[in-house]
Structure 1
Amino acid sequence: MKSPEPRLSSSPISGPSMRAIPASARIYELLRERIVGGEMPPGAPVSEKELAERYGVSRTPVREALLRLADERLIDIFPQRGTFVSHISVEALRDGMVIREALERVAVRHAAAKVTDADISELRLILDRQQASEQASDWAGFHAEDEEFHRRVAILSGHPNLWRVARQEKVQIDRCRVLHLPISGRREMVMGEHRAILAGLAARDPDAADRAMAEHLGNVLPGLDELLRARPDYFDADVRTTSEGEPAAVPLRTVRRKDRPTR
């Protein structure tokens, strides 16, 4: 049975140095996870009122979360028509891969120069958990450990913000990868590529770690053409038209931020 939606408390996280996490940030993370994981498919309507009731908050933090998701091209906001989960942007996929490769190759080179034996052991544990998820056909767990491996490499580089930027820019890639994991034979290859990255790190060899990371990221989306054929409804069309043949409305997210009307 599906677990009930979480109600968001306004109380801060326990601990003397912890600040309260704004409701809008928590709603953003919850919705982002549902969209990336495919629980909210492309084209699904999104209601501010229903989300506010579901999470036990006012509509203001929901609206703030939706605007943030719109900036990530995960939500389309159409004036006078409604709000919908966006289709996957092929253009954003390609841009995301260029940005991700640039950032993560820098991160792994820096990490190779700083990594300790304890760090290597921690990375091995992550890959062990990923292997266990693969054997259990736990695709969500496999993806989560994949994310954790790359996040830890960024942290070990001494520049953790590299992962924050990469995570945001690769969100359309993640949507494709989640779609592809259950039907792909690539999971074993991913594990081998991760082990090659780890070997470069363990050898404290920035060049080897960089080569392994470049090869890994170059293979992230080998099945894009297959996905485009199998699930065209999940992707942006170059030109969308209405049933009457007229051009479709342009969502607010395509308007540059500086040109948006003042609220």
Structure 2
Amino acid sequence: MNSLHDTSLARFGGWTASVDLPPGKRDPSIKAAEYAYRYLKDLIVTLELPPRAIITEKEVASATDISRTPVREAFFRLQGERLLEIIPRRGAAVPEITLRGITEQAQTRLVLEGYGVESICNRKIPVANDLFKIIEEQEAVYRRDPTQVLEMVLIDKEFHWSLVKAIGNTEFSQLYNTLHDRQVRIGVAMFNAVKGRPCKAIHQHAKIAEAIRDFDAPLALDRLEFHLIESLDELTGIFTG
């Protein structure tokens, strides 16, 4: 195999060759490339378009009734966000969700959210009540319908986002938000894969919020690290790579 094309095919051998894409209907007020981007991103982040799936410009254009050029633009944009990987002359592959990827994101989030927690506690920023309200919302969704995984993950993300936005650093917030879509995607995967994880997450969030309420930075950081890093032990054997 000497060509980039051959190498790519070998690398993605065994991946899902084709998937059924749901039909999409574009609002005329939305540009075709923007619509294709949103359409695909939603499918990828929610796992409706599963990891290891391979899609083509032609398939997406047919499903959305738009031309292939804006689809190609969407492919490149999603590749830049690490939500697709383009395979020359083949299409694009939806990235796998690996244990290494989950762990690396958790480590990155610990650095960013940990700084937020330290700042909140040291500056005594009154964010605890907001955190408890988010936890109540999580509990309500879980009690109402524990199968509403995406909704629970989005609320989960809001809890963690609150630890960052509370310190009022725009650059820091923008940096954290670059993780958003991949953070949600990984959250959906974990909540689906590990029985009881949503319930555990709610309990761990409450423990973090209690420490923040008391402005106890060391305890809050310990609990955040357990929540983000140590709790990943239960993923061993479920996610590989």
**Is 1:10 the equivalent of 2:29?**
yes
- Between Structure 1 and Structure 2, how many residues are aligned? 216
Native 8 Å contact 1:105 1:210 kept in 2: yes
Q: What's 1:121 paired with? A: 129
Shift of 1:126: 1.3
The two structures, once aligned, show a CA RMSD in angstroms of 3.0
- Report 1:109-148 matches (<5 A): 109-112=118-121, 113-116=123-126, 119-135=127-143, 136-137=145-146, 138-148=148-158
User: Aligned with 1:77: secondary structure?
Assistant: strand
CA distance in 1, matches of 2:117, 2:166: 8
- Report 1:72-111 matches (<5 A): 72-111=81-120
In structure 1, list runs of 5 or more residues that go unmatched: 12-21, 229-234, 237-263
Q: Deviations over 1:192-232 (max 9, x none)?
A: 2111221222223333332222221124533322313xxxx
Native 8 Å contact 1:42 1:85 kept in 2: yes
CA distance in 2, matches of 1:122, 1:220: 24
% same residue: 28
Q: What's 1:226 paired with? A: 237
Shift of 1:145: 0.5
CA spacing shift, 1:217–1:143, aligned 2, 3 Å = same
User: Aligned with 2:24: secondary structure?
Assistant: coil
Native 8 Å contact 2:23 2:64 kept in 1: no
Q: What's 1:18 paired with? A: none
- TM-score w.r.t. the length of structure 2 is 0.73
CA spacing shift, 1:220–1:23, aligned 2, 3 Å = farther
**Is 1:215 the equivalent of 2:234?**
no
Native 8 Å contact 1:96 1:170 kept in 2: no
**Matching residue within 41, 44, 49 for 2:50:** 41
**Matching residue within 207, 210, 223 for 1:199:** 210
User: What letter is aligned with 1:214?
Assistant: E
Q: What's 1:152 paired with? A: 162
In structure 2, list runs of 5 or more residues that go unmatched: 1-21
Shift of 1:8: 3.9
CA distance in 2, matches of 1:196, 1:139: 22
Native 8 Å contact 1:129 1:145 kept in 2: yes
CA distance in 1, matches of 2:71, 2:163: 33
User: What letter is aligned with 1:186?
Assistant: R
- TM-score w.r.t. the length of structure 1 is 0.68
Shift of 1:125: 1.9
- Report 1:157-176 matches (<5 A): 157-169=167-179, 174-176=184-186
**Is 1:180 the equivalent of 2:152?**
no
